[in-house]
Structure 1
Amino acid sequence: MTSNDMVLGFLFVFQTGFGVLGNSFLLGLYTIIFFTGPRLRPIDLLLIHLAFVNDLVLLSKGIPQTTAALGFNNFLDDAGCKLVFYLHRVARGLSLWTTCFLSGSQAIILSPRHSRWEKIKARIPKGIGPFCFLCSAFHLLIYYSILLHVKGPMEIKNITERNDFIYCSATFDSSYAAIQSVFIFSLPDVFCVGIMVGTSGYMFSVLYKHHQRVQYVHGNNVTPRSSPEARAMQTILALVSMFVSFYSLNSILALHMYLGKPKSWLIHISAFLAACFPACSPFVIIVSDSQVSKYSVILWNRIKFLVQQNPEKHS
């Protein structure tokens, strides 16, 4: 084991632990508030879903990649490789679509009154549950072919094409089959990224016009940070910008790896980029969403109240 392997292993451990800690905090906080606290916003239910799938992305990619970076390349068999790659790709797709739905729903909520989106605003809270269910079912079905193409490192025999991913491999009958598989997987993702970019531009335009009107009425003392709409939009824009940046870089590397014989350092970089959004996004939400601080204070006050009610148990 070289020093580079140790550094890579440390980076993946830090990234995975850092991200899981943030997502688990949000997941636990929202879940406790959902059962015991005030009524959650509709957007909070989407954030619960996003935190859960981000944890899956980090665990399904971070743990195997850390193990591989430390030099243990044959720790998964054929079934293990299929499960890890399938779970990671489904969770990654759900993370993308959930972020897309967050961006789209926030754009509709911020749209002016009497617009064509007015009737849809009231339906957004009711559509979150069906969206999560249908989206999960869709991704479980569309990525079924991963179970056919991914193989364990010791299961490769008599194949025409092989793509080695250090601890697992992907097999295709031809380069055309590899391109076709990448195209099928990427088309829904590109569609979602396009929606996120469009809705982000729309939200920025709406908020900018709103800010101009507010400044005209109240003078120059009002800043965009003073409005709840601005804080919500800044959170979504930060998430979307982060996702699009990391997703674009990772997609370019993933396409190169599917079409050729990737080097180990390129595989590690691609894996690190793929996990950057799920690792960083919970902290963007924690810092920028004032409701997280509000829920945390409510939960802390309830814990102190319970401790004060039973002092003898904690003495």
Structure 2
Amino acid sequence: MASSFFIIGMIILTQTMIGILGNFSLLCSYIVLHIMGYRLRSTDLILKHLIVANSLVLVCKGVPQIMSIFGWKHIRSDFGCKLLFFLHRVGRGVSIGSICLLSVFQVITISPWNSRWATLKVTAPKYVVLSLFLCWILQMLVNVIFPIYITGKWSDRNITKERDFGYCSSILTDKAKDASYAALLSFPDVLCLGLTLWAGGSMVLILYRHKQQVQHIRRTDASSRSSPESRATKTIVLLGSTFVYFYIVSFIFQVLLALFDQPSRFLVDISVIIAACFPTVSPFLLMSHNSSVQRLYFAWIRNAKSLLL
């Protein structure tokens, strides 16, 4: 049993370190691009917020879980437990909202000028900053109730029923109240998930129609190459599909945790691993498909060659 917990701890440790390194590297790439004077798109601004949100998820969930598995069982501060859970929930919510906003914005961007989205193609970029700001505020307001039911193991509160998360605990209430809170907390996520699925399907349909039109046009090789908008759309579809898959798997494990008043430590640890999969994988998907990051790479290559010459 101890060896299995050690293996799980090593998996979470490796996953958290890789995820934090990947998100930090991608964020530094965008900062360097900005310093070098490259003009970033509106989608790049959304991606930067996604990176920050993913980093919050990894730091506030993965790091405490690693500390718990490898010996530091408790976070001594009751406020520390509440703050970690709150930041994790906000980061998770902003990550979901950023994927939704990214998908919807890209649908508007690549939609034909004769579509019903034509009027939004010009005005949508102006509301990206406001939308991101509202996303953060909404998640803070929705999840402000969450820390009320989180307590530290060293808290002096006399609690008879609690659910153990390893380093912190949550106070158990009646099932009806739990269901109402779960519905309140899940509504923004379900709404964003639905919009992401709709936007992903719309982008695939638009790309398919565009491909059918291009097949009827015989021109030079330059016209047959994939446009930057098409490459960006494929990247966002891939990112959204990965998010939807891991979100559904994570949701299943969250339901399993909610069914037990005292879930097993193994189930808690596995749910942490699943929840951290998307924040860990997403920066590497973006680095391998994002044209902005690729521009930075080629800029470094050019600078290295000029120094050698």
For 1:240-287, what per-residue CA distance to the aligned partner results, in whole angstroms no more than 9, with x for missing partners? 111111111111211222342211111111111111001000111111
SS at match of 1:170: strand
2:65 is matched by which residue type in structure 1? Q
- Structure 1 equivalent of residue 286 of structure 2: 285
State the distance in 2 between where 1:225 and 1:273 align: 37
Assess if the C-alpha contact under 8 Å between 1:161 and 1:174 holds in 2. no
Shift of 1:206: 0.8
SS at match of 1:166: coil
Assess if the C-alpha contact under 8 Å between 1:224 and 1:230 holds in 2. no
Shift of 1:157: 5.0
Number of equivalenced pairs: 307
State the distance in 1 between where 2:133 and 2:269 align: 32
1:166 aligns with 2:166: yes
State the distance in 1 between where 2:5 and 2:212 align: 53
- Structure 1 equivalent of residue 27 of structure 2: 27
Shift of 1:218: 2.7
1:155 is matched by which residue type in structure 2? S
State the distance in 2 between where 1:2 and 1:147 align: 31
Structure 1 residues 264 and 180 mapped into 2: Cα distance closer, same or farther (>3 Å)? Answer: same
State the distance in 2 between where 1:32 and 1:124 align: 26
Shift of 1:79: 1.2
Assess if the C-alpha contact under 8 Å between 1:96 and 1:189 holds in 2. yes
For 1:184-209, what per-residue CA distance to the aligned partner results, in whole angstroms no more than 9, with x for missing partners? 11111001000111111111111001
1:95 is matched by which residue type in structure 2? S
State the distance in 1 between where 2:129 and 2:182 align: 29
- Structure 1 equivalent of residue 263 of structure 2: 262
1:290 is matched by which residue type in structure 2? S
- Structure 1 equivalent of residue 197 of structure 2: 197
- Structure 1 equivalent of residue 227 of structure 2: 227
For 1:218-250, what per-residue CA distance to the aligned partner results, in whole angstroms no more than 9, with x for missing partners? 39x899973333321221111111111111111
Aligned residues: percent identity? 38
TM-score with structure 2 length normalisation? Answer: 0.92
Q: Is the deviation greater in 229-238 or in 135-144? A: 229-238
2:214 is matched by which residue type in structure 1? V
Shift of 1:156: 7.4
State the distance in 1 between where 2:32 and 2:153 align: 42
Structure 1 residues 158 and 227 mapped into 2: Cα distance closer, same or farther (>3 Å)? Answer: same
Question: In the TM superposition, what are the counterparts of 1:73-112 in structure 2 within 5 Å?
Answer: 73-112=73-112
SS at match of 2:112: coil
- Runs (4+) off by over 6 Å: 221-225
Shift of 1:172: 3.6
Shift of 1:295: 2.1
Assess if the C-alpha contact under 8 Å between 1:200 and 1:237 holds in 2. yes
Structure 1 residues 200 and 89 mapped into 2: Cα distance closer, same or farther (>3 Å)? Answer: same
- Structure 1 equivalent of residue 7 of structure 2: 7
Structure 1 unaligned segments of length 5 or more: list them. Answer: 309-315
- Structure 2 equivalent of residue 271 of structure 1: 272
Question: In the TM superposition, what are the counterparts of 1:142-181 in structure 2 within 5 Å?
Answer: 142-155=142-155, 157-159=157-159, 161-181=161-181
Assess if the C-alpha contact under 8 Å between 1:149 and 1:170 holds in 2. yes
Assess if the C-alpha contact under 8 Å between 1:82 and 1:151 holds in 2. yes
Question: In the TM superposition, what are the counterparts of 1:57-76 in structure 2 within 5 Å?
Answer: 57-76=57-76
SS at match of 1:217: coil
1:203 is matched by which residue type in structure 2? M
Structure 1 residues 156 and 208 mapped into 2: Cα distance closer, same or farther (>3 Å)? Answer: farther
Structure 1 residues 112 and 73 mapped into 2: Cα distance closer, same or farther (>3 Å)? Answer: same
1:207 aligns with 2:186: no
Structure 1 residues 4 and 165 mapped into 2: Cα distance closer, same or farther (>3 Å)? Answer: same
SS at match of 1:117: coil
2:176 is matched by which residue type in structure 1? Y
TM-score with structure 1 length normalisation? Answer: 0.90
